[in-house]
Amino acid sequence: MSDNYLRRIYLRLAGAVMLVVMAALLANAFLSHRTFERALAPQLGNKMASVGGSISALVLKAVENGVPYKELYGVNERFQEVKSEMPEVAYLALTDAGGAILHQSMAAPEGAAAHFAHPATLKLLEGSPGTSSVQRVGDLFMVSLPVASAERKLGMLHMGVDLRFVDDMVLDMLLDVLVVLVVALFFTLELMHFIAGARLDASLRDLGETFERGSAGNFVIPVRGGGADQAFGGLLKALDGVLARLNDAYETLARELERSRHVPTHERHPGMRLAHQGAAELAGRFRFGRARQPELRDVSELAKVRAPLFVFILAEELTRSFLPGYVNDLLVPVPGISNQILIGLPIALFMLIVAVAQPFLGVHCERIGHRRTMLWGATVAAAGFLASALAHSVLDLLLWRSLCAIGYAMVFVAAQSYVLDHAPRQQRAKSFALFVGAIMAATVCGPSIGGILADNVGVRPTLVIAAVLAMVSILVIRQLPDNRPRQADEVPARIPTWREFAALVFNRRFMTVTGLAAMPAKMLLTGICFYLLPLHLVQSGSTQSMAGRLLMVYAVVMVLVGPLAATLAVSRERMHWLVGGGLVVSGLGGAAVLAGAGVGWILLAVLLIGLGQSMSISAQSALVAEHCAEEIARLGDGVVYGVYRLLERIGNALGPVVAAALVMHFDYQIGFVAIGAVAMVAGLAFLAVTRQPPAAALATV
């Protein structure tokens, strides 16, 4: 029985759910067009009636002042003003009491003349002022309103709404449905993992190991670490009972054979010699006894950190899609600092605080424990989210986002340390997949749901929801064990000294990975995805929901391609190509905006950035050990990786600042392209520097 059995169940379940989701979406798309007139037409009529009422009032006032209805002037100019204010309005016309067109904004669509003169349309003149009807005419939804008062029945005002506006509304609705369903899928998988996943995984592994030991002739009774509530506990108990009876029988046989040795030779049974030989062969072929201690640490303890980490990271990820726009709304003039830089400051400050605080918080976490560090971090972050919702200007928002950054760093460091302390050494890579999986699941769910919430309930209430999520994570964090397991060879966490920091910064091999790969990759991520993308979409007329959807696409690509790239990174040469090639692909994402700045091109850019980042992210960390083995042996992996993570997060902080400077001097399109070009150049330089000459390549074969 394989350890990956549960994962295969998850994937099959996810595939079945996604098939149902796709079928539901197709049915929804088909039925939405059919039910539009019945469900949405009255709302469309009410919206158009408010605009048409003002035009009718102007016409009536002009007629009352002696201007003949058929000789009105300035009508076309007013029509153009309405179309500029409401882009969905494609056609406007004034007709007389018989349906003849007097004024129109463009050539009448097919079937319009017949509709205007139809008795059902003209009958509206007999009703009360403000009455309207909505009918489909050609490629338009035509809203018809009477231009009449109690004394005068002048004619009709017709306003045509483009069907593409309706299609966009339906598409927007379908995209929101898709987002909610994908998020629901990830939530379901996380909930399954939280409720039974860890115990079921541990039980399946125990079953598999029991069968494998039995087939190999190892009948030693293991010491279970899963507790009484372990899944398949009855079956495991029955198997342990069989092992116990087998060991009792062997011990009884061994005692009888040992007792026979003390019997005088002439009284021994003739078959005892053969029995002793058989027992010796049995002892050589099989193993018996009871294990002294569990072979592995209890994986259920390790998995307990996933749920609180997911909930807390989700709170922060909610803000990704709308934070730049929120900062833009809170702008106040600051002498010497441009508005573009101010918009990027909260993001840059957040990343910088997380980068600088992590080494100090690692030592603090080791002193007070994971649970207390996470509790304090979630509390501080919840206060920061709540205060951010009440911010009056970008200046006090900087303070509140700093609180969020400190809380985020505390939770992140404590959760990472928890995984290191509870994961068996031989399974640390697999255990960190649990840690990264929680972060990526939150990254998929957060930006998309945050964008939808911001568009529908507002930014400030969404920040309050983030605060509530952070407080909910506190309730889950309280379930974590308070004790911290220690290892005999454990090296205490410490802050790198300035001498060690300088030695690594001026180390060519270390900076090849950090300066040419990690920092440019992170700068591109935060500069494009967290700063340029949300601002550009909102300022080009799109929504915060769309920004959230695109960021969700990035996370989904990371989830799907990241594990595949990690399996390919099996040699140093492959790692070099994955890292350098990933940077080039990410850079092409920024350059894709040269072809156009519409949502479709931005989607292509996000796909390429997600693909490039997923190619390089796993190999980057592994290459630190490959390039800096001497430094790790001399300084310790904690110091080397601590400086690496610090510089990597400084790249995170630089991204929004560089993007803001580019927007300030040029525009958004140049910002995308320039940051992409930097990543491409860095990737090509990395490949050139790490390329082995032929002689060196032969020497390593």
Instruction: Encode pLDDT of 557-577 as tens digits.
Output: 888 888 788 778 777 788 889
How far is residue 89's CA from residue 386's CA, in Å, rounded to a whole number? 40
Calculate what percentage of the chain has a pLDDT beyond 90: 17
Check residue 678 and give its pLDDT: 94
Higher-confidence position of 382 and 479 = 382
Contact 523, 576 (CB under 8 A): no
CB 160 within 8 A of CB 98: no
Characterize 419-448 residue by residue with b for buried, 16 or more Cβ atoms within 10 angstroms of its Cβ, and e for exposed. bbbbbeeeeeeebebbbbbbbbbbbbbbbb
The CA-CA-CA angle for residues 465, 382, 464, to 5°, reads 25
Q: Can you tell me the mean pLDDT for 374-390? A: 94
- How far the first Cα of the chain sits from its last, in Å, is 37
| 358, 645 Cβ separation under 8 angstroms | yes
C-beta of residue 670 within 8 angstroms of C-beta of residue 662: yes
Alpha-carbon separation of residue 119 from 154, 197, 508 (angstroms):
16, 67, 85
Length of the chain: 701
In the chain, the amino acid numbered 228 is A
Is the pLDDT at 226 greater than 90? The verdict is no
Angle at CA 299, nearest 5°, toward 294 and 302? Answer: 130
Cβ neighbors of 30 (< 8 A, separation 6 or more) are: none
Q: What is the pLDDT of residue 360?
A: 83
Most confident of 304-318, 381-395, 555-569: 381-395
pTM above 0.95, yes or no: no
Give the tokens for residue 240: 């342990």
**Cβ-contact 537, 546 below 8 angstroms:** yes
* Residue 227: predicted pLDDT: 46
Contacts of 689 (CB under 8 A, 6+ apart): 512, 516
Q: What pLDDT, on the 0 to 100 scale, is given for residue 584? A: 94
pLDDT, position 694: 42
**pLDDT bracket for residue 232 (50, 70, 90):** low
Buried b (16+ CB within 10 A) or exposed e, 507-535: bebbbbbbbbbbbbbbbbbbbbbbbbbbb
Among candidate residues 77, 57, 55, the one with its CA nearest the CA of residue 65: 57
Over the stretch 89-143, which tens digit does the pLDDT of each residue have?
Answer: 888 888 988 888 888 888 888 888 888 888 888 888 877 666 777 778 887 888 8
Residue 586 pLDDT exceeds 90: yes
700 confidence band (pLDDT: 50, 70, 90): very low
Cβ proximity of 203 and 226 under 8 Å: yes
Highest mean pLDDT among 28-37, 105-114, 239-248: 105-114
- pLDDT category at 239 given cuts 50, 70, 90 is confident
Strand order of the β-sheet with 89-96 is 101-104, 89-96, 153-162, 140-148, 133-137
Q: What is the pLDDT of residue 697?
A: 38
Identify which of 166, 174, 170 has the alpha carbon closest to the alpha carbon of residue 143. 166
Q: What is the pLDDT of residue 387?
A: 95
Contacts of 178 (CB under 8 A, 6+ apart): 21, 25
pLDDT above 70 covers a percentage of the chain that reads 78
More confident residue, 510 or 54: 510
Return all residues near 501 (Cβ < 8 A) that are at least 6 apart: 643
Confidence of residue 525 (pLDDT cuts 50, 70, 90): very high
Give CA 550 to chain center in angstroms: 10
pLDDT at site 408: 93
Nearest-angstrom CA–CA distance, 442 and 660: 27
157: part of which helix (H) or strand (E)? strand 153-162
pLDDT at 228: 41
Collapsed DSSP state (helix, strand, coil) of residue 675: helix
Query: CA 319 to CA 451: how far, in whole Å?
Result: 8
User: Which helix (H) or strand (E) element contains residue 92?
Assistant: strand 89-96
Which carries the bigger pLDDT value, residue 251 or residue 392? 392
Of the two residues 580 and 636, the one the predictor is more confident about is: 580
Residue 304 or residue 442, greater confidence: 442
Strand partners, 155: 96, 147
Which of these, 365, 371, 397, lies nearest to 384 by C-alpha position?
397
